[in-house]
């Protein structure tokens, strides 16, 4: 009781002395600071394990350790999640979108630290995923729980989740603009003056702390990029289209592999065995798949593609002794291109094997990694055709292209890569490739990999406010249950007694197990209900009709409204998965609830 009283006094003092507007700005600062600290802890943890593993185990070309270390990391992460966390912490950004879409904006407290530990173990030992999505979930959890501690409403909690995400991206990438834009594009928050100031404060605060801890140098310093030339625009257009198609492969391929692993392998240890063995073999054959792959990105954007072949068992075939004398020979070039194309195709397999086996990680790093290689391969093929394009530039803008396509976030791709590399002078090709990639994948896939799972369930908020309001409406909020049920064997006389006690003019007809058989409308029996001689001649089963449509309780509200529009009905029955009657939904009740939610949703 003492703790509760003390806590209540603090909250009461805050209410009397600090306005909610000022509190939000203050909390956004602390959310950004804590998110940056979490990002620093995660990166330090990953680097510590990597130095331990690579310095003591994989040193001196003992590449056979690649067959063991990833399995160690995945196993430790899986055991940590199963026995310590005891909750699913995968698909971090999808979890954030779910929390926002359901208007609860509550993220469990353990997410403030569990993703850091799980992803640190996974990536440090060589898991082929990224640390960014786990740290974004960590930042969002910090924002959600800090807002909850101060008893703020759900709308403000949603804003604090965005502040945590913006701070996490800004802190881990040293990219304040990308942190803001990511929150607006990927988490799909509305851009208003009320929201933009806290988001900027969190993002800038996190970036400043990251500068203090690690310096102001970009994450991928750019040394060899050439200036943008107008005559190369057609080649950037081609690269954008290629990035869009590869993004489609990334999105659908990863989704299908995840679903296959989820539905066909249920045993934890079998998942570890299959996923771990797959990942280990892939990393042994293609060492660039080890870890986040950021070293390979640095090599490609600085014109050192040959270093990416180090430690590969194919290196002696790709880079023979006479290589440098035959650098331009077509067979050698084709072998190198084949090697990198294989890495592009297999990266999603390695990532799914990592997460599917029990590891914890995101797709930020894999999309950047694949984008750099796609850009490099495209440029190398163009150069073999005599077009003379800069491979470093293409590798750089390829990262923006893949990120824009996979995340459906072209602005995030543009600003993130510019801030990651310091390549602000390449804004034009970044914009061209990002936009073309986004437009290309939109022809085939309307949702990002993050949003796909929620969109299929009708639980995704978008920038369409009408659709958002319908998404926020739930069936149990509009379901009306004051209809009197009748049975098919009831006579007209018994029905008249029911009608006299009812305030409704619709009567659901059910069987003894509660299954809906039809409906009976008062208008259909009005002309015979006052003729007692007919009371035993007709039964409800003879008088009932089929409803214009039957709604399922789990249907999203936008689909419910489509059904109303298609049928022209004003009331429709609702059943569960076994077709048991639950109640009715009326169009007027939906409209009233819609107006109520819209007013609340639109408040600044």
Class of domain 2-214: mainly alpha
Compute the CA torsion angle 496, 502, 504, 507 (nearest 10 deg): -50
Cβ contact 398:375 at 8 Å: yes
pLDDT at position 220 over 90: no
Segments making up each domain of the chain, as ranges: 2-214, 230-457, 467-602
Three-state secondary-structure class, residue 550 = coil
Mean pLDDT across the chain: 84
Cα separation, 399 vs 392, in Å, equals 11
pLDDT at position 152 over 90: no
Cβ contact 355:90 at 8 Å: yes
Least confident segment among 30-39, 377-386, 594-603 = 594-603
Interval 497-523 mean pLDDT: 89
Residues of the chain with pLDDT > 90, as a percent, come to 39
Question: Global pTM?
Answer: 0.77
Cα separation, 584 vs 586, in Å, equals 7
pLDDT at position 399 over 80: yes
Interval 310-332 mean pLDDT: 58
pLDDT for the residue 326: 47
Cα separation, 247 vs 406, in Å, equals 5
Cβ contact 289:339 at 8 Å: no
pLDDT at position 429 over 90: yes
pLDDT at position 103 over 80: no
Cα separation, 597 vs 593, in Å, equals 6
Cα separation, 449 vs 48, in Å, equals 31
Interval 454-475 mean pLDDT: 55
pLDDT for the residue 343: 94
Cβ contact 583:483 at 8 Å: yes
Q: What is the helix (H) or strand (E) element at residue 541, kind and residue range?
A: helix 540-543
The residue ranking higher by pLDDT, 8 or 521, is: 521
pLDDT at position 237 over 60: yes
pLDDT at position 133 over 50: yes
pLDDT at position 325 over 50: no
Interval 532-541 mean pLDDT: 86
CB-count burial class (<10 Å; 0-12, 13-18, 19+) for 56: exposed
Class of domain 467-602: alpha beta
> Residues 164-214: pLDDT tens digits?
999 999 999 999 999 999 988 887 666 666 778 899 999 999 999 999 998
Least confident segment among 210-214, 594-598, 600-604 = 600-604
- Chain-centre distance for alpha carbon 263: 20
Q: What is the helix (H) or strand (E) element at residue 94, kind and residue range?
A: helix 92-101
Identify the DSSP state of 84. Answer: I
CA atoms within 13 A on the CB side of 164: 31
pLDDT for the residue 101: 67
pLDDT at position 377 over 70: yes
Interval 8-30 mean pLDDT: 84
pLDDT at position 118 over 60: yes
Pick from 570, 587, 559, 477: which is nearest to 519 by CA?
570
Interval 20-30 mean pLDDT: 90
DSSP bridge partners of 506 = 521
Interval 530-559 mean pLDDT: 85
Q: Does domain 230-457 have CATH number 3.40.190.10?
A: no
> Residues 56-91: pLDDT tens digits?
665 555 566 777 888 899 999 999 998 999 888 877
pLDDT at position 456 over 60: no
Give the confidence band of 457 by pLDDT, cuts at 50, 70, 90.
Answer: low
Phi, psi of 551 (to 5 degrees): -95, 145
Cα separation, 180 vs 199, in Å, equals 6
pLDDT at position 604 over 50: no
Give the confidence band of 6 by pLDDT, cuts at 50, 70, 90.
Answer: confident
Residues of the chain with pLDDT > 70, as a percent, come to 87
Q: Residue 244: CB partners within 8 Å, gap ≥ 6?
A: 401, 405, 436, 437, 438, 439, 440, 441
Give the confidence band of 573 by pLDDT, cuts at 50, 70, 90.
Answer: very high
Q: Residue 288: CB partners within 8 Å, gap ≥ 6?
A: 296, 308, 343, 369
> Residues 264-305: pLDDT tens digits?
888 888 989 999 899 989 988 888 998 888 989 998 888 887
pLDDT at position 533 over 80: yes
Cβ contact 283:126 at 8 Å: yes
């Amino acid at each position: 009781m003492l703790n509760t009283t003390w806590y209540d006094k603090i909250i009461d003092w805050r209410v009397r002395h600090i306005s909610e507007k000022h509190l939000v700005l203050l909390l956004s600062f602390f959310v950004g600071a804590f998110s940056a600290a979490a990002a620093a802890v995660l990166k330090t943890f990953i680097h510590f394990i990597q130095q331990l593993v690579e310095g003591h185990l994989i040193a001196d070309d003992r590449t056979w350790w690649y067959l063991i270390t990833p399995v160690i990391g995945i196993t430790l992460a899986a055991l940590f999640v199963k026995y310590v966390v005891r909750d699913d912490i995968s698909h971090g950004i999808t979890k954030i979108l779910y929390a926002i879409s359901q208007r609860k904006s509550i993220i469990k407290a353990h997410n403030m630290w569990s993703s850091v530990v799980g992803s640190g173990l996974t990536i440090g030992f060589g898991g082929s995923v990224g640390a960014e999505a786990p740290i974004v979930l960590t930042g969002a959890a910090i924002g959600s729980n800090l807002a909850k501690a101060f008893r703020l409403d759900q709308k403000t909690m949603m804003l604090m989740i965005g502040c945590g995400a913006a701070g996490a991206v800004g802190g881990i990438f040293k990219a304040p603009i990308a942190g803001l834009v990511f929150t607006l594009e990927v988490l799909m928050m509305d851009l208003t003056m009320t929201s933009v100031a806290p988001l900027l404060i969190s993002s800038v605060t996190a970036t400043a702390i990251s500068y203090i801890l690690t310096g102001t140098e970009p994450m991928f310093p750019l040394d060899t990029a050439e200036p943008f030339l107008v005559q190369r625009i057609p080649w950037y257009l081609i690269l954008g289209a290629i990035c869009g198609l590869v993004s489609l492969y990334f999105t659908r391929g990863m989704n299908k592999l995840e679903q296959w692993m989820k539905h066909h392998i249920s045993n934890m240890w079998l998942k570890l065995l299959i996923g771990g063995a797959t990942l280990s073999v892939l990393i042994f054959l293609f060492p660039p798949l080890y870890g986040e792959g950021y070293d390979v990105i640095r090599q490609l954007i600085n014109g050192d593609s040959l270093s990416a072949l180090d430690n590969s068992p194919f290196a002696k075939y790709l880079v023979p002794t006479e290589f440098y004398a035959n650098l331009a020979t077509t067979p050698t070039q084709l072998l190198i291109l084949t090697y990198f194309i294989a890495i592009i195709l297999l990266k999603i397999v390695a990532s799914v094997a990592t997460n599917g086996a029990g590891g914890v990680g995101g797709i930020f790093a894999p999309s950047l990694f694949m984008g750099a290689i796609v850009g490099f391969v495209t440029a190398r093929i163009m150069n073999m055709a005599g077009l003379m394009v800069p491979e470093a530039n293409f590798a750089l803008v390829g990262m923006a292209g893949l990120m824009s396509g996979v995340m459906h976030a072209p602005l995030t791709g543009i600003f993130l890569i510019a801030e990651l590399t310091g390549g602000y002078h390449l804004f034009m090709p970044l914009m061209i490739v990002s936009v073309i990639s986004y437009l290309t994948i939109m022809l085939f896939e309307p949702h990002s990999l993050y949003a796909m799972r929620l969109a299929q369930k009708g639980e995704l908020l978008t920038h369409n406010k009408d659709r958002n309001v319908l998404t926020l409406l739930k069936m149990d909020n509009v379901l009306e249950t004051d209809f009197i049920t009748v049975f098919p064997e009831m006579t007209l006389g018994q029905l008249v007694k029911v009608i006299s006690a009812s305030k409704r003019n619709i009567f659901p007809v059910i069987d003894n197990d509660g299954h809906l058989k039809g409906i009976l409308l008062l208008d259909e029996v009005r002309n015979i209900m006052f003729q007692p001689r007919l009371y035993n001649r007709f039964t409800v089963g003879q008088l009932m009709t089929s409803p214009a449509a039957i709604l399922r309780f789990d249907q999203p509200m936008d689909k419910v409204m489509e059904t109303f529009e298609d049928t022209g009905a004003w009331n429709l029955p609702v059943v569960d998965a076994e077709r048991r009657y639950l109640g009715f939904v009326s169009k007027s009740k939906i409209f009233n609830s819609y107006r109520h939610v819209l007013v609340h949703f639109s408040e600044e």
